[in-house]
A and B are shown apart, each in its own frame.
Chain A
Amino acid sequence: MGHDGRTPVYAMVGNPNCGKTTLFNALTGLRQKVGNYPGVTVEKKIGEAFSQHGRPMKIIDLPGAYSLAARSPDEAVTRDVLLGRRADTPQPDRIICVIDASNLERNLYLVHQILDLGRPVIVALNMMDLAARSGAKIDHAKLEDELGVPVIACEAVNGKGLIELRLAMSRAELPLARHSWDVPAPIAPAVAELQASLVDADGRSPLVARAEALLLLTDFDAVRVAGSTPHSARTATVLNTWQERWQEQGTDWSATLIKSRYDAINHLCRDVIRRPRSAGPSLSDRVDAVLVHSLWGWLCFAVIMVALFFSIFSLAEPPMAWIDEQMAALAAWVQAGMAPGDLRDLLTDGVIGGVGGIVIFLPQILILFFFIGLLESTGYMARAAFLMDRPMSKVGLHGKSFIPLLGSYACAIPGIMATRTIENAKDRLVTILVAPLMSCSARLPVYLLMIATLLPSETVPTTTKVAIMFGMYALGTAGAFGFAWLFKRTLLQSAPAPMILELPPYQPPRLGEILRHMVERGWLFLKNAGTIILGISIVLWFLTTYPKHPDPAATPDVQIAASYAGQAGHLIEPVIKPLGFDWRIGIGLVTSFAAREVFVSSMGVIFGVADAEEDIAPLRDTLRSATWPDGAALFTPLVCVVLMVYYVFAMQCMSTVAVVKRETNSWRWPLFQIAYMTGTAWVVCFIIYQLGRAFGY
């Protein structure tokens, strides 16, 4: 490898949450997301590192897997890359097996399978600090001696062992493993026949073919992923013949093989690891006694959520006020420096009114991501999944589905991708279908604008606003649970699936990592404001300004009603009027299909253009004074609530639609998702508005 001048390809594999991505980032200088819970990496990531001699090396960071017998789509990616089944990824020349040293035997199970592939392997014995803290003593030199491959002790988080690992990776030749284990005799003929077929008909090398034969013969439910090359007809026939024969005989070779591997591993570890005879409860045990307690656990969960929402309002207020002042000063400066006309209006109403209206919410977005970062970094995410398992089981899912749902509070896209860790295909699809109902960060500006319009800061205590915000998040979560229950009983029926989820030890929050993630998300928010939202704001300003009304003395309201946007808005008004919305809100609903926060910038543009005064009032004040043609207030408290509820339920995100299409490999499910979510939004809003009106609101 590498002798032919080609850049060598390394694959980085290991159990979930063993520190692969931290090591990958340290070697490549990239900044892939890390977290202290299983399933952060669900797709392969490719980066470039350099050897000690400055030669480039390609590294593929693969999703965590407990075994090459994949049980979920993310594990299938790992298996298929290692077996050379992916047409879009080169088969790795060398493999770095990352091991959590604090859980040696279980992590060695995957290593044991990988050594069967006959490829050069380096073992990175990571988290040595955690192992030492638990009192375990690991002789890594002895492990190297037993396995016959380089074993490097490291602590990826602290940067320890990286030089030694890079040195090992730079070696021109790596020894092949000398581990040996005996395939049970009764299964040997089947392995040999299948191995021969894989070599002859599928073009595998003999060693890879042997490892793959072992997997295929004992894999009951091989998960297929798009991009994997199917086996030849001959191999499929051989496989079916043997599996049917064993099924008739009632023989479970899978259990025998696993036991055989663990026997070999236990033999290997006998002289490698020394554990204390008895250890008292660890810090994680003591914290778990509270955080997963049937009463205290829920109380802590509620406190965390309330603290999050309270911070969003109280901590964000000063920086928001500052941004607001700067935007107003900028608009005033433009107004003072330019002659009246369309160009000035474009800058003040289109650009500053649109983009400025959304940038003001940056502090709250940063606070949201700070809290989510804390939960991910400390290990609390898995505990939340544990707590939520019981309510999730009532709707037919299990706690593992809650991790993607919790992640969807930040953004539905990574949440939907995180469903790849769910083994049951129907449970995964149900989770994908309901994940966008969890209130994401893009809804935050809409909620905040409506709460500000509904409740003036000077008269209403923060707790009331927190309660409304909490209510919207709770409504979205209840909606997700309700629809999951419905789908599991109708479209996607399946028996309850067993769940097993590893709870990692608690770690102190990695503040640097959290701050970096906050900055990345904040930058992404600003980038969207400067590109998509700016573009939509300019187009919307044009559509609300042209064609000009024939009467130059027409009021702004008459002018905007005659514009292209006004004409289009009036077409859709009959559909949304039963919800209390006029055509201007309708334009906001349509434009915000690009992204929910576009609603805020659209309101800034539309009501900025329609504002007869040249003052720079905050958007909430402009909305409060907006009226219907008969002079009745448009943004009544009822309409503000109905608008928030609409955004809780409606599918208003093109990027999510695209990701659902990719993850389900069809247009059927994203179209169904748009229909059921937006349909629900309309019906629920109709009921609330009409009941509210009947009760005199």
Chain B
Amino acid sequence: MPLCQLPAGFTGRICRLTGDESFCQRIREMGFGEASLVTKISGTTTSLCLVNGTRLALNHDAARSILVEHLPAGAR
């Protein structure tokens, strides 16, 4: 599912980055690459996420282009 649809308080594993190559490169460089864990803190239109201990804000276009698999609580 796209990151924008991940419910707040849940953690997902990034499985694929879609969209603009330049943006994909940048978020990979920021440690937001495939297999990284991301926790959604809040937001629907603009998402607030936690990645490797850093709080990142992503707008809807960015969050829509990051596909994650929802991890059950015990699997983190």
Contacts and interface: CB of A to CB of B under 8 A. Distances in A.
B23 to A, nearest CB: 5
Contact of B22 (A220, A275, A285, A382): A220
A498 B20 contact: yes
Contacts of A109: 29, 31
A94 interface: no
B7 to A, nearest CB: 15
Contacts of B33: 255, 258-259, 262
A218 B29 CA distance: 12
A272 interface: no
B62 A69 contact: no
A481 interface: no
Nearest to A386: B57
Contacts of B23: 498, 500
A146 B7 CA distance: 40
Contacts of B22: 71, 220-221, 423
Interface string A95-119: 0000000110110010000000000
Interface in A36-93: 66-67, 69, 71
Given A258-B33, A293-B42, A500-B27, A103 B62 contact: no
A134 B46 CA distance: 26
A401 to B, nearest CB: 11
A220 B21 contact: yes
B45 A389 contact: yes
A181 to B, nearest CB: 15
A289 B28 CA distance: 27
Contacts of A595: none
A103 B52 contact: yes
Interface residues of B, number: 34
Contact of A393 (B30, B32, B48, B59): B59
B46 A399 contact: yes
A499 B46 CA distance: 9
Interface in A213-251: 218, 220-221
Main secondary structure of the interface of B (DSSP, over half): mixed
A93 to B, nearest CB: 27
A176 to B, nearest CB: 24
A255 B28 contact: yes
A288 interface: yes
Nearest to B36: A262
Interface in A385-412: 385-386, 389-390, 393, 398-399
A498 B61 contact: yes
A254 interface: yes
B15 interface: no
A255 B45 contact: no
Interface string A122-146: 0000000000001000000000000
B48 A288 contact: yes
Among the interface residues B19, B20, B46, B65, which one has the most CB atoms of the partner chain A within 10 A? B46
Contacts of A67: 26, 29
B56 interface: yes
Nearest to B19: A498
B42 A254 contact: no
Given A389-B59, A499-B58, A499-B59, A134 B53 contact: yes
B30 to A, nearest CB: 6
A496 interface: yes
Interface string B41-70: 111011010001111111111100100000
Q: Kindly state the interface size class of chain A when it binds its partner.
A: 35 or more
Contacts of A294: 42-43
A262 B23 CA distance: 18
B56 A501 contact: yes
Given A66-B26, A258-B25, A393-B45, A105 B52 contact: yes
B1 interface: no
Contacts of A252: 21
Contact of A103 (B54, B58, B65): B54
B46 A386 contact: yes
Given A66-B30, A106-B52, A500-B27, A399 B21 contact: no
Nearest to A279: B53
Nearest to B53: A103
Nearest to B65: A498
B15 to A, nearest CB: 13
Nearest to B21: A220
Given A106-B54, A221-B22, A262-B31, A500 B41 contact: no
A497 interface: yes
Contacts of B29: 66-67, 69, 109, 258
Contacts of A504: 55
Interface in A195-221: 218, 220-221
Contacts of A218: 25
A503 interface: yes
B49 to A, nearest CB: 10
Contacts of B61: 398, 496-499
Given A389-B45, A503-B55, 20 more contacts: A66-B26, A252-B21, A254-B21, A254-B25, A288-B48, A289-B42, A382-B57, A386-B46, A386-B48, A393-B46, A398-B61, A399-B46, A498-B61, A500-B56, A500-B62, A501-B56, A502-B57, A503-B56, A503-B57, A504-B55
5 tightest CB-CB pairs across the interface, nearest first? A498-B62, A499-B59, A389-B46, A503-B55, A67-B29
Interface of B: 19-34, 41-43, 45-46, 48, 52-62, 65
7 contacts: A69-B25, A69-B29, A105-B52, A254-B21, A258-B29, A385-B57, A500-B57
